[in-house]
Chain A
Amino acid sequence: MVEPLLQTRGISKSFGALKASSDVSLDLRPGEIHALIGPNGAGKSTLIKQIAGNMKPDSGTVHFLGQDVTALDTVARARLGLGRTFQISALAMEFTVLQNAVLGALGARGDVMRFFRPVMKDSALVERAREALERVGLQDHAATRTAELSHGQRRQLEVAVALTLKPRAFLMDEPMAGLGAGGSKRLTGFLDGLRAQAPILLVEHDMDAVFALADRISVLVYGQIIATGTAAEIRTNPEVRRAYLGEEDAA
């Protein structure tokens, strides 16, 4: 079996009486898209935060690239090569699109403590940034102020910034959220090609996208993973149908 790139081993996290994560074990293997789905309040965001390093699990460990990263913070995990996108776009809104991408490239290069040279004239950084923008199709908007981007374009930029980091694994929190059908389809196509570069742990509500993309799907309900399997397995899993898909059918 291939060694997983990213792995959680028995992660638990409680807030008072609420068990947001209970004994969650999840792995991400090279070349795959692993989707994490679950109804609202299932604890997806809490889990993502523990994987990204914003939150420490009460027990259990997180491993990345064969290393126990449980004690490391977000910054350290990002430096190791965890490329994350946020559910609500986390971008520097006053910056141009290109500046946001350059920031990513700068973070990847790691020499931020330079005080004199104009960063936007650093051709290596700008090149890397433009390359990433081109891959997500934002090259024509490089000079646009990020605040003026449409919602969908912001999502694209989030992905572009993650790309500049040349990450070893992607952690994407609802990249399709708020996209129209067209935008969602385009991004689906893009993520499909991205898995060859680095595997993606994808939290997503858009079921069409999930079933189209995911090599494996894990279903999280009340902080617990109730099933992990291929799209077909998950579709036919009675427990999943009852706990999750059934609810949606009823609604």
Chain B
Amino acid sequence: MTRETYINAALTFLLVLVPFWAWSTGQAYILTLCTKVAILALAGVGLNIALGLGGLVSFGHAAFFGIGGYAMGILASHAQVFDPIAEWPILIEGTKSMPVIWLVAMVSSALAALLIGVLSLRTSGVYFIMITLAFGQMLYYFTIGWPAYGGEDGLSIYVRNSFPGLNTLVPVQFLILSYVVLGLALWFSARLARSSFGLALTAARQNADRVETVGIAPFRLRLVAFVISGAITGLAGAMFADLNRFISPTMFSWHTSGEIMIFVILGGVGRLYGPVVGAALYILLEHLLGGVSDYWQIFLGLLLLAVVLFARGGLIGTLAGREVAHG
């Protein structure tokens, strides 16, 4: 057991304790905040696979977050007015079922990641950042000009989608659902980091020549990582849309990409719990400082600056020390 494992265990405990306390004292608002943390952390877990493991500084993950959101919005909006999405060549109807929506969100954001990845992973460094940003912004302006789903105003979904066996409108039930999904994603990403694929991917981040010389093509590794990363962030987008029962082009904007990246950097790039800590800290600051000043993000900026300058491993890195090679 390393120090980081203990810290992660303590964080898990805290993440469960807070909503439990909120639930037992009847503070539904806190429950919703915790749900938001879990969903945003999930988006960060997705980005962390590309950024942390693969070293791919994607400034366009809002694209996948937004696609997930719009997958939910489109399916649910058609379902709520009983208007099929397409009648020809086959009948495609909307749905209010979360598992189906999640699947559609993940598949469509994975496909988008495949396309964007194939085009952008031929570049690196600043060019990669700019191309991913450009794709995100392209989708942003596309949705602004797409009146069928609310255009610039976005689109409201009146009733939260359903999950078999749960009443998702009860905050604590939706919270548990989000926690379970986040837990599964964390488990998956921990397994991934230690797998053959993870070893080769992290090696490609450190030294692409090395990986090529042992007969592994870095491009394929990065593309697969980008697709997995996009799919998880897409799932987070669908859940975030469900949390708010609202979608809008903002989900696609570069602010969103930046926020997801901030979660990862604040918590610790490449650290399993980095995005969780980052998202929690972000929401906490927004909640505490947002009440003090509308310009609370100034403080966020200062914090981010401090982390980047003095605590390169993010919060987890500062607490746990250098990453211990798992062997």
Contact = CB atoms under 8 A, between A and B. Distances in A.
B226 to A, nearest CB: 14
B197 A90 contact: no
Contact of B197 (A76, A102, A115, A162): A115
A106 B196 contact: yes
In this complex, the member of A92, A100, A110 whose beta carbon has the largest number of chain B beta carbons within 10 angstroms is A92
A212 interface: no
A119 B199 contact: yes
A116 B190 CA distance: 9
Contact of A119 (B196, B206, B211, B217): B196
A96 B327 CA distance: 8
B211 A120 contact: no
A218 interface: no
Given A99-B325, A112-B216, A120-B327, A90 B207 contact: yes
Interface string A160-198: 011011000000000000000000000000000000000
Chain B interface size, as a band, is 20 to 34
Interface stretch (A3-11, A78-86, A201-209): A78-86
B209 A114 contact: no
Contacts of B212: 73-75, 78
B195 A114 contact: yes
Contacts of B215: 75-76, 78-79, 107-108, 110, 165
A244 interface: no
Nearest to B197: A115
A92 B210 contact: yes
A76 B217 CA distance: 9
A154 B91 CA distance: 62
A160 to B, nearest CB: 12
B198 interface: yes
Contacts of A164: 214
B15 interface: no
A103 B195 contact: no
A112 B221 contact: yes
B213 A99 contact: no
Contact of A103 (B210, B224, B323): B210
B191 A116 contact: yes
Contacts of B195: 114-119
Contacts of B192: 115-116
Interface string A114-132: 1111111010000000000
Nearest to A107: B214
A92 B196 contact: no
Given A79-B215, A93-B206, A106 B327 contact: no
B155 interface: no
29 contacts: A52-B213, A73-B212, A75-B215, A78-B214, A78-B215, A79-B215, A84-B213, A94-B202, A94-B325, A95-B206, A106-B214, A107-B200, A107-B211, A107-B215, A108-B214, A108-B215, A110-B215, A112-B216, A112-B221, A113-B197, A115-B191, A115-B198, A116-B195, A118-B326, A120-B194, A120-B326, A120-B327, A164-B214, A165-B215
Interface of A: 52, 73-76, 78-79, 84, 86, 90-96, 98-100, 102-104, 106-108, 110-120, 122, 143, 145, 161-162, 164-165
